[in-house]
């Protein structure tokens, strides 16, 4: 009896005057519990996207807020031409868009190549060691992201630590220009997002059944071959989850290209920021947001699917 009740606790009559009131209104406690976070997210997370879509179809105007849905004759018009027209006709936007996707994709692959052996190493170390190593991975994540990006400026500058060290050892004669380059942007993204790759990979590799590898070795399989034939295929959910956690936010990254990149490190997050804050062209900024979202629909769905899968396995 208890088991069925716990599955649908709201079927028990609610107590107190609130309960009686809700009961009269035909609202169960269960739907009230669901409604609180659901309505919050609908209002503050989902509805805003519809408004972005709406604003992307507006005209720019000199007013507060600087957009209007009415043309000069005062008619309500869905204005696709201005904002989206600008996106497809100006090479700057297309270049920034494609460049962002490329930078995010390459950074994701780099994070995977660096993070996989690392997560594997943690997952295969002793239980007490494992917890310490894991904490050391999480700790930088808790400290400020902005400060971790800032820290790289001191290392990468022409008179920064890395150049000073290389000059001192005599490997180079003059400083290498690393700040304000695409190299610095890649470095910053890989550095900042690496923990997001490591943690899902670790969670997956830690749960893996080691006896499968033992069986393969017993049957004469070389360890490296067993690694690629067994470990890697079994860790695909972890790889996908980690890759999406890096790729999706990296596409729209603003802070890293702004602080470490140069004028040529054109990324769409910077373009959106510039349109919004410098040009005060809100319709174009909104159209850029919609274009980025379109590119992220499939990655977002993948992320959602694999995240659910991993969580179900945990239960």
Partner 1 sequence: MTNRLSWFIIFWLVAVFAFLYAPIISVIVYSFNSSKLVTVWAGWSLKWYGELAKDRQIIDAAVLSLEIAAISATLATILGTIAGYVLVRFPKFLGRTAFSGMVSAPLVMPEVITGLSMLLLFISMEQAIGWPQGRGLTTVIIAHTTFTLSYVAVVMRSRFLVLDLSLEEAAQDLGARPLKVFFVITLPIVAPAIVSGWLLGFTISLDDLVITSFTNGPGTSTLPMVVFSKVRLGLDPKINALATIIIAIVSIGVIIAIAHMRRVERQRQRDEQMAIRAIAAKA
Residues 235-294 that bind partner 1 (CB under 8 A): 244-245, 248-249, 251-255, 258-259, 269, 272-273, 276-277, 282, 285-286, 289, 292-293
Exactly one of 60, 106, 112, 140 binds partner 1 (CB under 8 A); that residue is 140
As measured in angstroms, the least distance from the Cβ of 252 to partner 1 is 2
Return d(Cα 203, Cα 311) in angstroms, integer. Answer: 10
The CB-side HSE value for 47 (13 A sphere, CA atoms) comes to 7
8 Å CB contact between 93 and 86 = yes
How many contiguous H segments (helices) and E segments (strands) does the chain have?
Answer: 17, 2
Instruction: For residue 228, state whether it binds partner 1 (rule: CB under 8 A).
Output: no
Alpha-carbon distance 172 to 303, whole Å? Answer: 44
Beta-carbon contacts of residue 143 (< 8 Å; ≥ 6 apart): none
Q: Which is nearer to partner 1, 131 or 264 (CB)?
A: 131
Q: Which is nearer to partner 1, 13 or 170 (CB)?
A: 13
Could you tell me which stretch among 72-80, 89-97, 158-166, 169-177 binds partner 1 (CB under 8 A)? 158-166
Is 266 or 272 the residue whose CB approaches partner 1 more closely?
272
Q: How far is the CB of 71 from partner 1 (least distance, A)?
A: 19
CB neighbour list of residue 241: distance below 8 Å, 6 or more residues apart: 200, 204, 303, 306, 307, 310
Interface positions, 78-107, toward partner 1 (CB under 8 A): none
* Environment class of 145 (CB within 10 Å of its CB; exposed 0-12, middle 13-18, buried 19+): middle
Contact 260, 272 (CB under 8 A): no
How are the residues of the chain apportioned to helix, strand and coil, as percentages rounded to the nearest 5?
75, 0, 20
20 binding partner 1? (CB under 8 A): no
**Shortest distance, position 88 Cβ to partner 1, whole Å:** 20
Q: How far is the CB of 10 from partner 1 (least distance, A)?
A: 6
Residues in 163-202 that interact with partner 1 by CB under 8 A: 164, 191, 194-195
CB atoms within 10 A of CB 97: 20
314 is a site residue for partner 1 (CB under 8 A): yes
| Segment near partner 1 (CB under 8 A); pick from 68-76, 78-86, 89-97, 128-136 | 128-136
Count the residues of the shown chain that bind partner 1, applying the rule CB under 8 A.
102
Fill in the per-residue mask, 58 to 77: x = in contact with partner 1 (CB under 8 A), - = not in contact. Answer: -------x------------
């Amino acid at each position: 009896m208890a088991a069925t009740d716990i599955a649908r606790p709201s079927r028990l009559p609610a107590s107190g005057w609130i309960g009686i009131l809700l009961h009269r209104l035909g609202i169960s406690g269960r739907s009230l519990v669901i409604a609180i976070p659901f309505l919050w997210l609908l209002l503050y997370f989902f509805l805003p996207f519809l408004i972005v879509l709406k604003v992307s179809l507006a005209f720019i105007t000199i007013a507060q807020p600087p957009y209007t849905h009415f043309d000069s004759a005062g008619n309500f018009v869905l204005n696709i031409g201005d904002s989206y027209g600008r996106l497809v006709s100006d090479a700057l936007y297309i270049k920034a868009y494609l460049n962002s996707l490329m930078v995010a994709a390459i950074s994701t692959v780099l994070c995977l190549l660096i993070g996989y052996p690392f997560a594997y190493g943690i997952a295969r170390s002793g239980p007490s060691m494992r917890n310490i190593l894991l904490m050391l991975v999480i700790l930088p994540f808790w400290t400020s992201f902005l400060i971790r990006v800032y820290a790289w400026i001191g290392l990468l500058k022409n008179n920064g630590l890395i150049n000073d060290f290389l000059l001192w050892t005599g490997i180079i004669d003059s400083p290498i220009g690393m700040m304000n380059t695409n190299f610095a942007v890649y470095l910053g993204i890989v550095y900042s997002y690496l923990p997001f790759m490591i943690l899902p990979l670790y969670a997956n590799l830690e749960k893996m059944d080691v006896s499968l590898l033992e069986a393969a070795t017993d049957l004469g399989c070389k360890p490296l071959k067993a690694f690629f034939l067994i470990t890697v295929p079994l860790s695909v959910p972890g790889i996908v989850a980690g890759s999406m956690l890096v790729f999706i936010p990296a596409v729209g990254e603003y802070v890293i290209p702004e602080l470490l990149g140069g004028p040529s490190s054109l990324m769409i997050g910077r373009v959106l920021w510039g349109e919004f804050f410098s040009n005060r062209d809100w319709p174009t900024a909104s159209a850029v947001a919609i274009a980025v979202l379109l590119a992220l629909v499939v990655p977002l769905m993948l992320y959602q699917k694999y995240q659910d899968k991993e969580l179900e396995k945990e239960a």
